[in-house]
Amino acid sequence: MTEPLTIVGSGLAGTLAAVYLAQAGHQVSLLERRGDMRSQTQAAGRSINLALSARGLHALDEVGLKDKVLEQALPMRGRMMHAPDGELTSQPYGLKDDEYINSISRSYLNQVLMDAAEKAGVEIRFEQRCLGMDFDKKQLQMQDAQGQDYIIQSPTVIGADGVGSALRRSLIQRLRVNYSQNYLDHGYKELTIPAGANLQFQMDPESLHIWPRGHFMLIALPNPDKSFTCTLFLPFEGQESFQSLDNSPAAIQAFFERYFADALALMPDLIETYLANPTGVLSTIRCAPWHVDGQMLLIGDASHAIVPFFGQGMNSAFEDCTLLAKAFQTYGPNISEVFSQFSSQRLADANAIANLALDNFIEMRDRVADSDFLLRKKLSLELESRYPEIFIPKYSMVSFHRIPYAQAEALGQAQQELLKRLTAGRDDLAQIDWQAVAQEMQAYAQLAEINSAA
């Protein structure tokens, strides 16, 4: 009926795409550079847990895996901010009881997806490295486990080979492909707060913990084994930086004592873990178009890698899979049309979540420590409560709804201005001018309508 599909990369995006498309009746093979993670120990230092929210859950629901995945998830209902003196401030993510994000293990999720792919008839071939693609010769260039090069002739390829995508490297050498890669001046390092002596969580497990310190921050997400995975985001260079810490145990210890004393008290292995784990880089990748005729299409990080600060890397990749499966339904078996429609419809949204994720870094590391910001967040939820038909806070549009990212970005900017106007000179919800709010809501309702129509 349809041509067989070759998916490159059995990470989260590639494997979910394989599940979706195999369930829809396509013949799918999945090529993976590494060995089978289900029978191997994990490489250290990769992001260990992720925040699964509405878009990811919707995709997993569509392929029948939502409940299975949520068995191992931990709800995070809000942010818990840790001040330098250890004082805690909490802030709910949403208004409703079911508005929380889910801390989930990346490797557990990936393994569930691999099992489901095989169950749906997908052949996964491990230790097959993709070197690139020659679009003129229509050849996928591969290397097998023995280091032997081979080609696959005229395949239909979905490239889910991640942020360092070899297929993207081939794509951007084509004429008229626009491309950018931008690195943050910050890197990241994963650390651990183990379970306590009583084998229980040592901090509130229903929160995403943040230690905002202006130009840098520490965050922590809970794991089912009662530990927290912490991530330190710090500039590579400058006064407080990975360079200035210089892998010196004394400097690392002093830095944590000064800025993260309450976390340090829970991290007996800080120095060891800090020195053992690599320092990761953070980049934003933008690319357009994402496809070459009906030969090859990129999805997920391969086409639009984003920084992790909105917790949307996996969620946006999963939404890619949802939309790609839908494009196959609508435009198949014309693969060229499937790829081109998907690519052009998804581009603006991918750009928008890239921007939102960059903005959220400033918010997390800096603004969450600010009382004006906290008042605006409070008002934002109050507006949703009073005007549920009109006003959905930006964070909720992105995390608890499937409103297109570009629309969430545009409305989020309008919200930001509106919240600033309404809270200017005020320091408590009780002081808000509710008549001014009513007027603002009229204008906002029109804007929201225009944006949802667009």
Binding site for a second copy (CB under 8 A): 169, 172-173, 175-183, 236, 281
Q: Between 29 and 241, name the residue whose CB sits nearer to a second copy.
A: 241
CB 336 within 8 A of CB 357: no
Query: To the nearest whole angstrom, how small is the minimum distance from the Cβ of residue 165 to a second copy?
Result: 12
CB closer to a second copy, 162 vs 393: 162
Q: Which is nearer to a second copy, 69 or 166 (CB)?
A: 166
Nearer to a second copy, 1 or 176 (CB): 176
Among residues 150 and 183, whose Cβ is nearest to a second copy?
183
- Beta carbon nearer to a second copy, 91 or 283: 283
| For a second copy, the closer CB: 181 or 247 | 181
Shortest separation between residue 18's beta carbon and a second copy, angstroms: 28
Distance separating alpha carbons of residues 16 and 14, to the nearest angstrom: 6
In the complex, least distance from residue 432 CB atom to a second copy, rounded to whole angstroms: 39
Q: How far is the CB of 353 from a second copy (least distance, A)?
A: 19
Give the residue with the Cβ less far from a second copy, 68 or 169: 169
Q: Closer to a second copy at the Cβ: 79 or 168?
A: 168
The radius of gyration computed from the CA coordinates of the chain, to the nearest angstrom, equals: 23
* Dihedral, CA of residue 402, residue 403, residue 406 and residue 407, to nearest 10: -170
* Residue 161 C-beta: closest distance to a second copy, Å: 14
Helix (H), strand (E), coil (C) string for 73-111: CEEECEEEEECCCCCEEEEECCCCCCCCEEEEEHHHHHH
Q: How far is the CB of 281 from a second copy (least distance, A)?
A: 5
Shortest CB 169 distance to a second copy, Å: 8
- Closest distance between a second copy and the C-beta of residue 187, in Å? 9
Sequence-ordered list of residues with C-beta below 8 angstroms from that of 6, at least 6 positions apart, any chain: 28, 29, 31, 140, 152, 155, 156, 157, 158
Amino acid symbol at 23: Q
DSSP assignment of 353-379: HHHHHHHHHHHHHTGGG-HHHHHHHHH
d(CA 233, CA 282): 10
- Going by C-alpha positions, the residue among 100, 56, 97 that lies closest to residue 74 is 100
Spatial neighbors of 174 by CB under 8 A, at least 6 apart, are 135, 292
What letters, b where the CB count within 10 A reaches 16 and e where it falls short, cover 403-422? Answer: bbbbbbbbbbebbeebbeeb
Q: What is the DSSP string of 293-348?
A: TTTEEE-THHHH---GGGS-HHHHHHHHHHHHHHHHHHHTT-HHHHHHHHHHHHHH
In the chain, the amino acid numbered 410 is A
Q: How far is the CB of 147 from a second copy (least distance, A)?
A: 18
